[in-house]
Amino acid sequence: MTRVEQELIRNFSIIAHIDHGKSTLADRILQLTGAISEREMRDQVLDSMDLERERGITIKAQAVRVFYTARDGKTYQLNLIDTPGHVDFSYEVSRSLAACEGALLVVDASQGIEAQTLANVYLAIEGDLALIPVLNKIDLPAADPELHGGAVAELIGDDPDHVLRISAKTGEGVADVLEAIVEHIPPPSGDRDAAPRALIFDSVYDQYRGVVAFVRVVDGEFRKGDRLLAMQTGREVDAEEIGVMSPRMTPTGSLAAGESGYMVTGLKSVGDLKVGDTLTLAKRPAPEALAGYREVKPMVFCGLFPVDSDDYPDLRDALEKLSLNDASLQWEPETSQALGFGFRCGFLGLLHMDIVRERLEREYDLELLATTPNVEYEVTTTAGEELGVRSPADLPPATNVESIREPYVRCTILVPSDGVGAVMQLCQERRGSYVTMTPIEQRQQIVYDLPLAEIVTDYYDQLKSRTRGYASLDYEVVGYRESPLVKLDVLLAGEPVDALSMIVHKDMAYGRGKALVERLQKTIPRQMFEVPIQAAIGGRIIARETVKARRKDVLAKCYGGDISRKRKLLEKQKEGKKRMKQVGSIEVPQEAFLSVLTLGNDQQSNGKGK
């Protein structure tokens, strides 16, 4: 295979808010360049996981190579590195961008810039990437290309006339996008003769081939059979196969500076090849590793318990298998008095948590109970010990606590001017502190610092509902701050239920406790005996409700000896009970363990179409 000159290579990604048409544009590019035939054309080829396709989101970064013969008559190799569009996965975005020299900034011509896009644009500008502004969906009646085009140009300091106007859906203007990529994005500038270096921007585990690393080669050249050295971990492994995605895995035998592709390693876990590490050759190691990424830290934690305790080993196996492909998923065994044996799992965010849970249930056929998500607290005890607390159950008694710190995030919210009041009110309610407000287009960019714990409940839903869906949100962690936090316990029939405990700000404890017991009272069905539900701080009861005792539960007529029908009714009733969790002698429906999430509103759900 003839090596394509670096001059003819363009590495780019697409920055877009969810639902602004990134996947459709990517599909259209694949089609226009002949990488995929009409017949093969499926919607959203790049989103290959079922779940991604279903939810209309991109989770993992991927790189696809296409060839494009430009109007100058030359054939260019274009490498599209996909970026996820959700805030949970913003670290993935930075990884994708680091493997590129440029990016398409795609904005919906009827919606304008969203908070997420903004954050990613800043990432791209920091990374010195060439940006090509694109207004998509100009075929929509609500499109306002003048307004939004002007704003996009202003944001990146470009001339409004340079903003491309396209419809990825109809294909209008997409060829101009390809031309712009060739014209405005610089070719890679690696040294092909230097010691080889490649940045691992993603890795996946394939059950037949082991770990497959997705790499951007910066210097030199890698060939099939080379002994690779991962510079950070010191791990050596053979490159069993080298190739590119076009868009399926296609072996090429080698990858050279400027190119992106994959390397098959046969390793057993994605943890063995760290994303952000630099690959070089064992026999000709590069003197210096490339700048990697910061370590990904899980931000949200929850307990996952099998509804049927016999499924515990299956849950462990399933988590092990999922971790092969998801280095950001953390888990450790956890025992709950109420829920038995399970795992405390750490996630990048709520969407990540939802996705992992859904995959466990769907792909591994497990029925799971997830406890209320929480963040990790830093606790200093009176004895001067420092603890990381990921579960309310692990919080020491108040008398032993010197101080507690919680993670804060800086939230950037874009909202039309008439929504400013609602947003600020919500942020105040959630213990936010105001940072700045700046007009962008006809909207306001509001920046608040908020405790992450306030975001992982129903903040996003509230934000959407109070602004009639117009606000968009992005956030980044800004560190830990000390807060007066207390543990709120829930007692059923006088017994504390560890899985329902939560850590809350002391000023909000009363309101949360009251709302929680009211919610539980509505969620827990009548029991054989009356059950008091209490919320308590330390030993002090702050709220109480009662689940009423059952008064009537009989089968009516036993007609003409039809005894089997009666028995089957009892069996059916029993099936219904199986979906409950037995806590002491009380049957608690699974929703009850999530009810703190939904205080005040419906459960949060993210993703396209919302």
Partner 1 sequence: MTPGASHLYAHLPFCASRCGYCAFVVEVGALDRRDAYAAALRAELAAESGRLGPLETVYLGGGTPTLMRPHRLRGLLEDLAPRLAPGAEVSIEANPETVDGDQLRELRALGITRVSLGAQSFQPHLLAALDRAATPAQVRRAVACAQDAGFASVSVDLLFGVPGQTPQDLEADLAAVTGLGVDHVSWYELEIKPGTALERMGAEPPDEDRAADAYERVVEGLEAAGFRWYETANFARPGHECRHSLAYWSAADYLGIGVGAVSTAGGVRWRNAAGVDRYIAALDAGEAPRRETETLDADTRRRERWMLGLRVDRDLDIGWAGAPDHPEALERLEAGGLVRRSGSRIALTRRGRFIQNAVLQELMEYAS
Contacts with partner 1 by CB under 8 A lie at 526, 528-529, 550-564, 566-568, 570-575, 577, 585
Q: How far is the CB of 570 from partner 1 (least distance, A)?
A: 4
Nearest to 350 by CA among 610, 20, 124: 610
**Closer CB to partner 1, residue 37 or residue 564?**
564
**Closer CB to partner 1, residue 161 or residue 553?**
553
Task: State in Å, rounded, how far the first CA of the chain is from the last one.
Answer: 46
Query: In what side-by-side order are the strands of the sheet with 260-264?
Result: 236-238, 227-230, 278-281, 197-206, 210-219, 260-264, 241-245, 249-251
β-pair partners for 223: 254
The CA-CA-CA angle for residues 579, 585, 588, to 5°, reads 35
**Closer CB to partner 1, residue 468 or residue 577?**
577
**Closer CB to partner 1, residue 438 or residue 573?**
573
Q: How far is the CB of 86 from partner 1 (least distance, A)?
A: 42
Q: How far is the CB of 498 from partner 1 (least distance, A)?
A: 22
Q: How far is the CB of 550 from partner 1 (least distance, A)?
A: 5
Q: How far is the CB of 576 from partner 1 (least distance, A)?
A: 10
Q: How far is the CB of 547 from partner 1 (least distance, A)?
A: 12
Distance CA 286, CA 99 (A): 18
**Closer CB to partner 1, residue 3 or residue 550?**
550
Q: How far is the CB of 556 from partner 1 (least distance, A)?
A: 5
CB-CB contact of 188 with 101 (8 Å): yes
CB-count exposure of residue 232 (10 Å: 0-12, 13-18, 19+) = middle
**Closer CB to partner 1, residue 169 or residue 526?**
526
Alpha helix ranges (H) inside 225-280: none
Distance CA 118, CA 155 (A): 9
What CA dihedral angle connects 273, 274, 278 and 284, to 10 degrees? Answer: -30
Q: How far is the CB of 582 from partner 1 (least distance, A)?
A: 11
**Closer CB to partner 1, residue 477 or residue 558?**
558
Q: How far is the CB of 515 from partner 1 (least distance, A)?
A: 24
Q: How far is the CB of 499 from partner 1 (least distance, A)?
A: 23
**Closer CB to partner 1, residue 4 or residue 580?**
580
DSSP single-letter state for residue 189: -
3-state secondary structure 546-597: EECECCCCCCCCCHHHCHHHHHHHHHHHHHHHHCEEEECCEEEEHHHHHCCC
Taking each helix axis from N to C end, the angle separating 174-184 and 22-32, rounded to the nearest 10 degrees, works out to 90
What are the distances in angstroms from CA 7 to CA 10, 39, 185, 253, 406?
8, 33, 11, 21, 49
Q: How far is the CB of 583 from partner 1 (least distance, A)?
A: 15
> Tokens at residue 270, please?
């994605």
Distance CA 59, CA 471 (A): 23
- Give me the residue label for tokens 């499109």: 143
**Closer CB to partner 1, residue 282 or residue 555?**
555
Which helix or strand (DSSP H or E) is residue 151 part of? helix 145-156
**Closer CB to partner 1, residue 41 or residue 558?**
558
**Closer CB to partner 1, residue 477 or residue 563?**
563
Count of C-beta atoms within a 10 Å radius of residue 271 = 15
